[in-house]
Structure formats: C-alpha cells, structure tokens
C-alpha cells in the first residue's frame, strides 16, 4: 500500500511540485548539484536552438531590408510610340541602334541636315543625333561635316582596350572624323587624302591591326573613273598608313573583308598585297600557300564565282564569318569561307536588294531573298545549309521601297518584316501615282498569312525592326523625309511598338483560307514573344 505522502502526491501532483521547488530554494547547494549533474547534450541542444533562431531572425531582417527599405533602381518607362519632327530638313540613309545612356534600352542614331536659320541650305552642316529609345528625348547632338559620304557606328575595339566605341564618318569635301558613340565628343578629326573627283564606296571596312598599336585599322575604298583604290587608316588615331594603293578592280563588285585561317582576303585581293603597295613593306601578315595558288599570277586577283555583277557579299551569322553569301545580279550562292567553293548549286534569281537572315525552322538558319521587282517580286526563303527553297511569297512592291528586317522569336524561329503594296495584287496605286508602302509581318508558323501592320504614304528613307529591351519590346524605327536631298522638307523619326499594331492590323491570306478566323490569327501574332540574339 502507498504511504500517506505518496498518496497525496498522486492525488495532488501540482502541490507536490510546489513543495519540491520550495525545498530546492531552501537548499541551494542541492540545486547547484542538479545543474552540474545536467547532461552536456541538453545544454548543446539549447545552444543549437538559439543559433537557429538567431540565423532565422537575421535572414528575415535581410529580406525585409532588401524588399522594403532599399529602394529599387528606377526602370525607365519605355513609351510604346514616339515621334520627332524636323521642319525644313533632309535626312540621310543611316540608322543605327545601341544602348548609349546605359538604361538597357536601345537608343537611336541618325544623320540629318536642316537650315539652322541659315539662308544657304547647301552650306549648312550635317548633324549626328542620338535620341533615347525610351521616349525620343535627345541624348546628344553635334554637327559633323558639311556633307557625309560614309558612316559606320559601333566600330568594335579589341578586348581590354579602354578606347570608347566610336562612329567613323567620311565627310565631304575632305574630312575623316571619329565621334564618341556615348557622348558625341570628337575623338579625332583629320583631313582626308581622297581626290576631289573620287567617289567614296561603301562599306567602311575594318582590317586586322597593321600598325601594331593593338587596335583594328580601317580601310576606305574610293573610285575615280574605272580605278578602285584603298586607303588604310589607323583605327585609334585616324592617321593614314602609307599611301593610296590601287586594287585593280572595277566599281561593279561588292566589297567585304573576309578573314581566313592564316590570311585576309578582300574581294579576291589580299590585304597583305595592298599593305605592301601602300607602305612598301610586308606588314604583320602570313602567307597562305593555298590562297596564293588561287590568285592569278598577273593580276593577283581571284576568280569570281558570281554570275553577273556582284550585288552583295555577306558573312553568314552564327559561324564567326566562316561562310560567305555571294549575291549576284543573276544568281546567288553560299561559298565555303576557306576554299571559296560553292556549298550548293547557285540559284538563278534577279536580286537587286540586300537579303536578310533569319530562322524559318527552329534553330535552322535561312535567308530571305527578294527575287524580282515591282509587281513581279517574290520573297524566297532558302535553307542556308542546303539551298533548298522553304517557302515562296508573292509580295508586289513599289520602286525604292525600304529594306526588310527580321527579329528572333522565343520559339527559335524569326518574325520577318517586309514592305509591299497596300493592296496586294492591285496596280491602281502605281497607275494613279498614290504610292503607299505597307508594312507586312510574317511568321513561319502561319506560312499562308501576312499581317499588314501599317501603311505610309510619305517617302521612307530608312527602316529597321529592333528589340529595344532584352527579350522584349519589339518595335520598328522609321525615318521619313524628302526624296530630293537638295529640297528640304518635313523629316520625321518614328518608333512604333509592334504588338500595339496587331489588334488593328489587316489579315491578308495568300491562299485558301484556313480554319482560323482573322481575330484568332491576330491573337497568335499578339502572343509572339521575342528573344535577344545569343
């Protein structure tokens, strides 16, 4: 049987605990013995718990500070549409984009000339301007020359170089200028050595470093009568390297600097040979016996693979310029970048405008070629790997229409933008003289459909489709102005976001209508997402 104390403890446990605590207070030495006798494992677990709650508190504090106390950087609001107008001006066929002010939105550079309150328009200076892609505000603007014959922006600098990116301008009558791309400040300005009767040929070519200063150098091509000459300039200082050197070619050929494994070749003429002509020394170039054997022993030129005059020479993107697309007046062909032998059989065509690259199939590079002109124009999509025709679109156009463009989409294809007649299949516009250019959008997932985004009745000088922000905000830029460069008028620089134009666009079906309604097709174009180039 339980004694009296045990029975009372079982019936009143709380009272029993109070009695034990009072006994412990009355006997501190016993209490200390209990503490000393506590196992070290229990004390360690309490330390772990304290450390856990302390670290949790610190994490929550950091999250709170980052989320609510530290302000987020202001993201500039990019307007969907903006327009800049200049009265009594002319605009040049030059349009470039780059992030000039560092806000991660592409900005726009262009050239124009206005009266500037001068009574003599011909003596006014050409201004180069950079405007914000977000809202069209002016970032910088400066006069550069009385007239501009050639301009190239964002000339790449070698890795590790502190030299700023620049715009190189060849001005008339005799100026050679470099302008800081980000500030508009003049980096250097020299008088050119070109003859007054010489024509400046496009493009401005960048050559490997020949003067040993670590920066790529520049090659300017000029034509006087039937002779084409090359002028080498230092890319860092603008000073001429050597004298003028004749290339021994006529001005009917296209020009492209193409770098091989061990040597450089320019239109079938080696840069090494040109350097020897202008300086009298061999320069920092290696000889390639294979390429030397391909050059004619007398003319030191390479035989052309083009049928007819060469219209365009283009590096194929994605292969570090490994191959060359040669577009002639009667045919075009893809050449191996090292052997300059055709990769596929030349395709007969009547090409007068520069082709554009894009992806018709997922991750498969294609080229869109405009075959023919006027009401007979067709858009041919060719697989660059095989030369096979992937698709053909009949898209009549007006003479002198803007160039086409493409933008990569998130489905690993491309959206293509072409200009054509407002009323496809109708010649009434050309007959009545009411020239209206229409901008059409095409995506390979809808091969028998075009989307008419906009139509313009004014003269279009330049056009481009641009991804203004990384993987978002696809828009087009339009430069419009007088057709006659000697007759100033209204000049406009316009930006429109593509997605905003889709709801009011017109669906043009090129074949028998599919099951989708016009609104369903617009919705599919609206859902397109774009991605930045790798």
DSSP for 240-262, written as a single string: EEEEEEE----TTS---EEE-SS
Q: Is 11 helix (H, G, I), strand (E, B) or coil?
A: helix
Q: In the structure encoding, which two tokens stand for residue 522, read together?
A: 């617009």
| Alpha-carbon gap, residue 412 to 405, rounded angstroms | 16
Q: Render each residue's pLDDT in the chain as its tens digit; 534 residues.
A: 445 555 455 555 545 555 555 555 455 554 455 544 555 666 667 788 888 888 888 888 888 777 766 666 566 678 899 999 998 899 999 999 999 998 889 999 999 998 754 555 556 788 999 999 999 999 999 998 888 888 988 665 555 556 678 899 988 877 889 999 999 999 999 888 777 777 887 778 887 777 777 788 888 888 887 777 888 888 888 888 877 666 655 544 444 455 444 433 334 555 666 666 666 665 655 666 665 566 555 555 555 555 566 778 888 876 555 788 888 777 888 888 777 778 887 787 888 788 999 999 998 999 999 888 888 889 999 999 899 999 999 999 887 788 999 999 999 999 999 999 877 655 454 444 456 789 999 999 999 999 999 999 899 999 999 999 887 889 999 999 998 878 899 999 999 999 999 999 999 998 776 678 999 999 999 999 999 876
Following DSSP, what letter does each residue of 333-352 receive, concatenated? Answer: EEE-TTT--BSSPPEE----
Determine the pLDDT at residue 201.
79
Distances (CA, A) of 443 to 25, 362, 426, 512: 87, 12, 24, 17
Selection from 473, 402, 453 nearest residue 107 by Cα: 473
Where helices occur in 424-472 by DSSP H, the ranges are 428-432
| Alpha-carbon gap, residue 487 to 413, rounded angstroms | 42
Please name the helix (run of DSSP H) or strand (run of DSSP E) that holds residue 293, with its range, or none.
Answer: helix 289-294
Please name the helix (run of DSSP H) or strand (run of DSSP E) that holds residue 60, with its range, or none.
Answer: helix 40-64
Fill in the DSSP letter of residue 39.
-
The reply to whether omega before 264 is within 30° of 0 (cis) is: no
Determine the pLDDT at residue 42.
66
Residue 201, judged by CB atoms within 10 A of its CB (0-12, 13-18, 19+), counts as buried
Task: Write the CB contacts of 277 (distance below 8 Å, at least 6 apart in sequence).
Answer: 242, 245, 246
Determine the pLDDT at residue 380.
92
Selection from 440, 328, 447, 347 nearest residue 392 by Cα: 447
Determine the pLDDT at residue 98.
93
pTM: 0.78
Following DSSP, what letter does each residue of 460-500 receive, concatenated? Answer: EEEEEEEEEETTEEEEEEEEE--SSTTS-EEEEEEEEEHHH
| Alpha-carbon gap, residue 172 to 84, rounded angstroms | 27
| Alpha-carbon gap, residue 309 to 324, rounded angstroms | 16
| Alpha-carbon gap, residue 524 to 507, rounded angstroms | 12
Task: Write the CB contacts of 315 (distance below 8 Å, at least 6 apart in sequence).
Answer: 256, 258, 321, 323, 324, 325
Distances (CA, A) of 106 to 15, 81, 196, 494: 80, 14, 37, 14
The pairing of beta strand 331-335 with beta strand 324-328? antiparallel
Q: Is 42 helix (H, G, I), strand (E, B) or coil?
A: helix
Selection from 84, 189, 181 nearest residue 128 by Cα: 181
Determine the pLDDT at residue 156.
56
Determine the pLDDT at residue 172.
81
- Which segments of 99-216 are extended strands (E)? 107-114, 126-131, 138-145, 147-152, 166-172, 175-180, 186-190, 199-207
Asked if residue 219 lies in contact with residue 150, where contact means CB atoms within 8 angstroms, the answer is no
| Alpha-carbon gap, residue 301 to 289, rounded angstroms | 15
Determine the pLDDT at residue 123.
62
Task: Write the CB contacts of 454 (distance below 8 Å, at least 6 apart in sequence).
Answer: 438, 439, 496, 501
Sign of CA dihedral 19, 24, 30, 35: positive
């Amino acid at each position: 049987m339980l004694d009296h104390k045990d029975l009372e403890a079982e019936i009143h446990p709380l009272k029993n605990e109070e009695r034990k605590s009072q006994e412990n207070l009355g006997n501190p030495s016993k209490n200390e013995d209990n503490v000393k006798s506590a196992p070290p494992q229990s004390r360690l677990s309490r330390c772990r718990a304290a450390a856990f709650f302390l670290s949790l508190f610190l994490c929550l504090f950091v999250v709170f500070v980052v989320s609510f106390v530290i302000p987020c950087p202001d993201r500039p609001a990019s307007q969907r549409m903006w327009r800049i107008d200049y009265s009594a001006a002319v605009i040049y066929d030059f349009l470039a984009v780059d992030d000039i002010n560092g806000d991660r939105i592409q900005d726009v550079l262009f050239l124009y000339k206005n009266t500037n309150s001068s009574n003599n328009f011909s003596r006014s200076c050409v201004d180069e301007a950079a405007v914000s892609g977000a809202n069209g505000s002016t970032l910088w603007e400066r006069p550069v020359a009385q007239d501009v014959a050639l301009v190239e922006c964002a000339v790449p600098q070698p890795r590790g170089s502190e030299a700023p990116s620049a715009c190189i301008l060849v001005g008339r009558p005799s100026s050679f200028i470099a302008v800081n791309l980000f500030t508009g400040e003049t980096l250097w300005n020299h008088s050119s050595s070109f003859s007054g009767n010489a024509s400046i040929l496009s493009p401005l070519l960048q050559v490997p470093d020949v003067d040993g200063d670590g920066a790529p150098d520049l090659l300017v091509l000029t034509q006087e009568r039937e002779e084409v000459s090359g002028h080498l300039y230092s890319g860092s200082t603008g000073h001429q390297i050597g004298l003028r050197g004749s290339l021994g070619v006529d001005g009917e050929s296209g020009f492209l600097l193409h770098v091989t494994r061990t040597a450089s070749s320019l239109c079938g003429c080696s840069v090494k040979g040109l350097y020897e002509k202008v300086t009298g020394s061999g320069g920092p170039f290696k000889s390639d016996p294979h390429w030397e054997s391909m050059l004619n022993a007398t003319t030191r030129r390479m035989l052309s693979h083009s049928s007819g005059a060469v219209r365009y020479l283009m590096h194929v993107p994605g292969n570090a310029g490994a191959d060359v697309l040669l577009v002639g007046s009667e045919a075009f062909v893809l050449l191996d970048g090292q052997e300059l032998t055709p990769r596929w059989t030349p395709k007969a065509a009547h090409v007068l405008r520069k082709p554009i690259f894009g992806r018709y199939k997922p991750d498969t590079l294609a080229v869109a070629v405009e075959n023919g002109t006027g009401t007979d124009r067709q858009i041919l999509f060719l697989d660059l790997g095989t030369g096979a025709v992937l698709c053909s679109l009949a898209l009549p156009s007006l003479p002198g229409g803007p160039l086409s463009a493409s933008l990569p989409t998130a489905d690993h294809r491309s959206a293509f933008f072409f200009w054509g007649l407002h009323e496809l299949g109708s010649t009434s516009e050309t007959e009545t003289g009411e020239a209206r250019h229409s901008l059409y959008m095409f995506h390979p997932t809808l091969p028998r459909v075009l989307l008419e985004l906009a139509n313009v009745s004014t003269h279009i000088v330049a056009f481009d489709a641009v991804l203004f922000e990384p993987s978002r905000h696809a828009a087009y830029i339009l430069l419009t102005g007088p057709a006659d460069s000697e007759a100033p008028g209204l000049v406009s620089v316009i930006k429109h976001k593509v997605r905003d134009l889709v709801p009011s666009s017109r669906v043009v079906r090129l074949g028998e209508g599919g099951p989708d309604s016009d609104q369903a097709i617009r919705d599919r174009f609206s859902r397109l997402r774009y991605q930045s180039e790798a």
